[in-house]
């Protein structure tokens, strides 16, 4: 497994996925060290000279005008993380917390946070040791950053709270001891440097954006199977149609659909059987393509946020005057950029599920399926076939419509109205993640239905090579439904193939496409 090097400037979503999901180790780049040390020197000088600077020699939020003595500075930072560790709800998935830890190290590596190098290395050591703090999923307003979630990581770093370690939930002090690590005693500014930022919403968002981009391409594969099952008309994917509009995602999706359907003998041409298809087939490039563009926007925002200094105040060292430098209070902790992007991401992914459910309806409805038996089963009446599969898809799509209501349009003032506009960005990111999980399932249900329809048409012999590979992958795990049976195992098998990227991989392998998908820019 490769090592991800963090310099505060060039980390990407692929790096987050490698560390958070696949256990890659992380290390600090050599060039980040002098930046960290320079900003720390300014903090130390501020304390030595008793300068009044927010969060260093003052209280926090509404208490920003309360001056704190030098003797109480360590207590101030410890009290900060303990009092702010008030998250509620179920623990965040371990991959999300690992991503949060990685991103916090990378944010400090920018060199504007003022934390000690030893504290940054302690957080990195905890990450690489596989110690994952228990972080409740709820409690962040998204400004001043993700205070509550990040505080649960900070208290674990100091030997408080609980962690997951080697498959068990244990006290953080025990996990650190078992890994041969020492708890950190925070110094001036360090509590704030660890918790005042957008790393929770960005961690959830990075993983969601990565998965959404894979799902958008998987949706094309599944739609191509349904297209063949319904003997769809390929003229609508003519490149001239899409170039006439000029929308990038639409052009890309149309090209992808043409490649996926190349070699198929079960699609039709305009006027061969009918003049035009319904929107769910004819407008796949327009619908899927718009979601591609929205996902790309979210990908770009999150990619920038990964390498951002998002705490407050920020420490700006002067390389030409080591004795100088500025400490500036600002608002980079405000999660509005990520909040809007995550709301947009959720809507974009919800639309992939919306149109997928409508394609399922066309497959199961004999009035719309161009000759397929009702509910995709022989001996209908005795057998119900895929009737309730469509119900489940409709249920998930309806749930997504509720979840897709934007969180970023809401704001509740906090800290005695000192923090009078907040982003709700972490709620937006968590909702996008939930929408994504539902959309995966809907597309898995369509995958099952499309392959069932193909079998009822006579089998996969007329499929395009790319979609035939996807069909075989599904059929290796879920056989055709000859008569009613419990389909839970089939649904879970299809979901696993969609979730782990198998359906996408086998199809794109046949096309000879670059299936890495690590960054949206590479795909563009």
- Whole-angstrom Cα distance, residue 154 to residue 69? 23
Continuous segment of H or E residues that includes residue 91: strand 88-91
Q: Are 288 and 223 in contact (CB under 8 A)?
A: yes
One-letter-per-residue 3-state SS of 287-324:
HHHHHHHHHHHHHHHHHHHHCCCCCCCEEECCCCCCCC
Give me the pLDDT at residue 516, please. 38
291 to each of 303, 344, 349, 354, how far by Cα in Å? 18, 9, 7, 12
Place of tokens 């809907």: 442
**pLDDT tens string for the chain (524 positions)?**
789 999 999 999 999 999 999 999 999 999 999 999 999 998 888 888 777 888 788 877 777 778 877 778 888 899 999 999 999 999 999 999 999 999 999 999 999 999 999 999 999 999 999 999 999 999 999 998 899 999 999 999 999 999 999 999 999 999 999 999 999 999 999 999 999 999 999 999 999 999 999 999 999 999 999 999 999 999 999 999 999 999 999 999 999 999 999 999 999 999 999 999 999 999 999 999 999 999 999 999 999 999 999 998 999 988 777 667 888 989 999 999 999 999 999 999 999 999 999 999 999 999 999 999 999 999 999 999 999 999 999 999 999 999 999 999 999 888 888 888 999 999 999 999 999 999 999 999 999 999 999 999 999 999 999 999 999 999 999 999 999 999 999 999 999 999 999 999 999 999 986 543 334 444 43
Q: Are 135 and 86 in contact (CB under 8 A)?
A: no
Domain limits of the chain?
3-197, 205-523
Q: Give bridge partners of residue 186 from the DSSP assignment.
A: none
Which stretches of 72-164 are DSSP H helices? 73-84, 94-109, 117-128, 147-157
How far from chain centre, in Å, is Cα 10? 19
- Whole-angstrom Cα distance, residue 487 to residue 495? 12
Burial of 153: CB neighbours in 10 Å, binned 0-12, 13-18, 19+: buried
Q: Are 502 and 517 in contact (CB under 8 A)?
A: no
Give me the pLDDT at residue 515, please. 40
Q: Is the pTM of this model over 0.85?
A: yes
Query: CATH assignment of 205-523?
Result: 1.20.200.10
Q: Give bridge partners of residue 380 from the DSSP assignment.
A: 383
Q: Give bridge partners of residue 132 from the DSSP assignment.
A: 164
- Whole-angstrom Cα distance, residue 438 to residue 266? 30
Give me the pLDDT at residue 60, please. 77
* Residues known to be catalytic: 54
Peptide bond between residue 269 and the one before it cis (omega within 30 degrees of 0)? no
Three-class DSSP category at 12: coil
- Whole-angstrom Cα distance, residue 392 to residue 394? 5
- Whole-angstrom Cα distance, residue 98 to residue 51? 36
- Whole-angstrom Cα distance, residue 338 to residue 270? 44
Give me the pLDDT at residue 513, please. 67
- Whole-angstrom Cα distance, residue 128 to residue 115? 19
- Whole-angstrom Cα distance, residue 47 to residue 45? 5
- Whole-angstrom Cα distance, residue 446 to residue 360? 6
Give me the pLDDT at residue 519, please. 41
Place of tokens 């359907």: 261
Three-class DSSP category at 355: helix
Give me the pLDDT at residue 418, please. 80
Within 10 Å of residue 42's Cβ, how many Cβ atoms? Answer: 24
Give me the pLDDT at residue 522, please. 43
Q: Is the fold of 3-197 the same as that of 205-523?
A: no
- Whole-angstrom Cα distance, residue 39 to residue 294? 37
Q: Are 438 and 399 in contact (CB under 8 A)?
A: yes
Max CA pair span of the chain? 86
- Token reading at 524: 């563009």
> What residues have CB less than 8 Å from 350, skipping those under 6 apart?
397, 400, 401, 403, 404, 435, 439
CATH topology of domain 3-197: Fumarase C; Chain B, domain 1 (1.10.275)
User: Residues, the chain, total?
Assistant: 524
């Amino acid at each position: 497994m490769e090592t991800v090097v963090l310099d505060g400037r060039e980390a990407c979503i692929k790096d987050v996925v490698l560390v958070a999901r696949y256990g890659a180790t992380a290390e600090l780049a050599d060039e980040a060290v002098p930046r960290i040390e320079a900003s720390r020197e300014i903090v130390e000088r501020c304390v030595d000279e008793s300068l009044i600077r927010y969060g260093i020699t003052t209280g926090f939020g509404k208490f920003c005008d309360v001056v704190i003595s030098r003797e109480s500075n360590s207590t101030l930072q410890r009290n900060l993380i303990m009092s702010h560790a008030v998250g509620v709800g179920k623990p965040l998935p371990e991959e999300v917390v690992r991503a949060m830890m990685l991103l916090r190290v990378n944010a400090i590596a920018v060199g504007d946070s003022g934390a000690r190098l030893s504290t940054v290395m302690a957080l990195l050591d905890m990450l690489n040791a596989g110690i994952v703090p228990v972080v409740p999923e709820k409690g962040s307003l998204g400004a001043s950053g993700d205070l509550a979630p990040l505080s649960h990581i900070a208290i674990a770093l100091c030997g408080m709270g609980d962690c997951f370690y080697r498959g068990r939930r244990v006290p953080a002090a025990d996990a650190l001891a078992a890994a041969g690590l020492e708890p950190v005693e925070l110094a001036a500014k360090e509590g704030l440097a660890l918790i005042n930022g957008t790393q929770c919403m960005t961690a959830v968002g990075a993983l969601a954006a990565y998965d959404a981009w894979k799902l958008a391409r998987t949706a094309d594969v599944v739609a191509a199977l349904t297209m063949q099952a319904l003997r769809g008309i390929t003229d609508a994917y003519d490149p001239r149609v899409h170039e006439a509009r000029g929308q990038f995602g639409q052009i890309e999706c149309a090209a992808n659909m043409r490649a996926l359907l190349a070699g198929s003998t079960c699609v039709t041409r305009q006027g061969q059987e009918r003049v035009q298809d319904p929107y769910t087939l004819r407008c796949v490039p327009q619908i899927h393509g718009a979601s591609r563009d929205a996902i790309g926007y979210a990908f770009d925002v999150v990619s920038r946020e990964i390498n951002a200094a998002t705490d407050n105040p920020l420490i700006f060292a002067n390389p030409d005057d080591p004795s100088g430098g500025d400490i500036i209070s600002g608002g980079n902790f405000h999660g509005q950029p990520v909040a809007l992007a995550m709301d947009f991401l959720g809507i974009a992914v919800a639309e992939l599920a919306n149109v997928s459910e409508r394609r399922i309806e066309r497959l199961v409805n004999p009035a719309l399926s161009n000759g397929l038996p009702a509910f995709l089963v022989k001996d209908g009446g005795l057998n119900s076939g895929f009737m309730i599969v469509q119900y489940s898809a409709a249920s998930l799509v309806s749930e997504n419509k509720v979840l897709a209501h934007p969180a970023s349009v809401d704001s509740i003032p906090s800290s005695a109205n000192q923090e009078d506009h907040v982003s709700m960005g972490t709620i937006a990111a968590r909702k996008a993640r939930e929408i994504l999980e539902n959309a995966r399932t809907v597309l898995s249900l369509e995958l099952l239905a499309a392959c069932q329809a193909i079998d009822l048409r006579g089998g996969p012999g007329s499929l395009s090579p790319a979609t035939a590979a996807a069909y075989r992958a599904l059929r290796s795990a879920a056989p055709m439904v000859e008569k009613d049976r419990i389909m839970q195992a089939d649904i879970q098998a299809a979901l696993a193939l969609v979730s782990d990227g198998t359906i996408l991989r086998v199809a794109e392998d046949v096309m000879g496409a670059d299936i890495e998908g690590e960054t949206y820019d590479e795909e563009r």
